[in-house]
Amino acid sequence: MKQEKDPAFVKFTGIEKRYGKVVAVKKMDLEIPEGSLVTLLGPSGCGKTTLLRMLAGLEEPTHGDIFIKGKRINDTPIHKRNLGIIFQNYALFPHKTIFDNVAFGLKYRSASKAIMKEKVEKALETVRLPGVGNRMPSQLSGGQQQRIALARAIVIEPDVLLMDEPLSALDENLREDMRREIDNLQQALGVTTIFVTHDQREALSMSDKVVVMKDGFVQQEGDPEEVYNNSVNHFVADFLGHSNFLNAVVNEQQGDCLSVTLEDNSTCLAIPAGTFNKGDKVEMVIRAQKFNLGYRADHVPEQGENVFFGKIVDRSYMGGEVSYFIELENKLVLHAINFVKRSPYRRGDEVCMKVMHEHCRLLKI
């Protein structure tokens, strides 16, 4: 029989961290389910690393409690917490061989020599670097070093794996490979993992749950699609992907949608995120990818769509897709990203931008 997974394997309650007058993390509550990969996503200084370091025992919380497996660990020193930590700069011990690096944690778990050897070799195989045990860390590339760091952390079978921006020191190409590797490894081992990053692509692509943070607060938490498609506020919508924001005033309910008046007095239909009253000032969010561009001359009005007309003022070709900046008649500039079908639009082209009602969302200001 499969054991029920603990939905609050790691739990923070009212956690707070102050450095003098600066508050890094403010009264935060967070639960992390067993076996899941949760990303803490946010710009630098949002408190994500501080939160991780408090869980690791490298920082002491000013207020609040931290629980792992239902046990309060505030007063447990770091070396008794049984956590695996992956650092941004690998932090392999430079004076020890790869074998000794990986075996380091096992030494303090009274493993016999034979078991130690077996476990280290298995861990090195898991990260696909068998046979490097005799080398020194400086003889390995950055990506290899990070994999050894991973092996060193998983070999002790930690309760929680903590990763602090583990990919940011790697090259762009390597980062993608490494990200997939971490993802696969985490799934195979089923170890509860907390991953700190400022890179939304990393967060969206690998997480079971994304926690978007800013200024020491959780802005939104949920699965990646939820957070991306149903961003609850301006910050989340802006931080994840490319969004357009248009000021609007609420008119009336029309089916599932609300009709709103934009600054140029045109009306649009959009999905409300929350409840609004007539006359409320709101912000309409449209993702750059949701626009469908066409030549203005070819425009045929269709049901269920909002349409904007404008002129292309800037564009940048990005391989498969093109990023366009389109100036509307009221001088507002919108950002649209479209796949290239035949030939991309050129600067100065008069275009129409169509977007489905359900892709326009209204947020409180």
Partner 1 sequence: MKKFISGWSLIKIFTFLVYVWMFTPIIAVVILSFNPQQFGSFPMEGFSFKWYVKLSHNSTILDAFKNSLVLGSCTAVLATAFGVPAAMAFIRYEFRGKEFLNTLLIAPIMIPEVVLGVALLLFIRWLQQPKSFALLLIGHVVLTLPYVLLIVQARLVGIKKEYEEAALSLGANPFQTFREITFPLLAPAILAGMLFAFTISFDDVTATLFWATAQNQTVPVKIFGMLRNSISPEINALGAVMIVLTVSTPLLAGYISRKFAKGTGK
Q: Which residues bind partner 1 (CB under 8 A)?
A: 56-58, 77-85, 87, 89, 91, 93-95, 104-105, 107-109, 136-138, 149, 152-153, 156
The least CB distance from residue 170 to partner 1, in Å, is 16
CB-side exposure of 263: number of CA atoms within 13 Å?
12
Q: How far apart (Å, rounded) are the C-alpha atoms in residues 149 and 127? A: 10
CA distance 207 to 193: 9
Please report how close the Cβ of residue 63 comes to partner 1 at its closest, in angstroms: 20
The CB-of-182 to partner 1 minimum distance in angstroms stands at 17
220: helix, strand or coil: strand
What's the closest the beta carbon of residue 194 comes to partner 1, in angstroms?
A: 13
Nearest to residue 148, comparing CAs of 125, 171, 169? 125
Q: Would you say 133 or 137 has its CB closer to partner 1?
A: 137
Smallest gap from Cβ 40 to partner 1, in A, equals 18
Q: Are 352 and 342 in contact (CB under 8 A)?
A: no
| C-alpha to C-alpha distance for 336 and 92, rounded to whole angstroms | 44
CA angle 156, 34, 215 (to 5 degrees): 100
Residue closer to partner 1, measured from CB, 108 or 295: 108
Work out the end-to-end distance of the chain between its first and last CA atoms, rounded to an integer number of angstroms: 49
CA separation for the pair 224, 210 (Å, rounded):
6
Nearer to partner 1, 66 or 355 (CB): 66
The values of phi and psi at residue 53, to 5°, are -70, -30
Q: Which is nearer to partner 1, 51 or 326 (CB)?
A: 51
Residue 175 C-beta: closest distance to partner 1, Å: 20
With respect to partner 1, which residue has the nearer C-beta, 91 or 174? 91
Nearer to partner 1, 47 or 57 (CB): 57
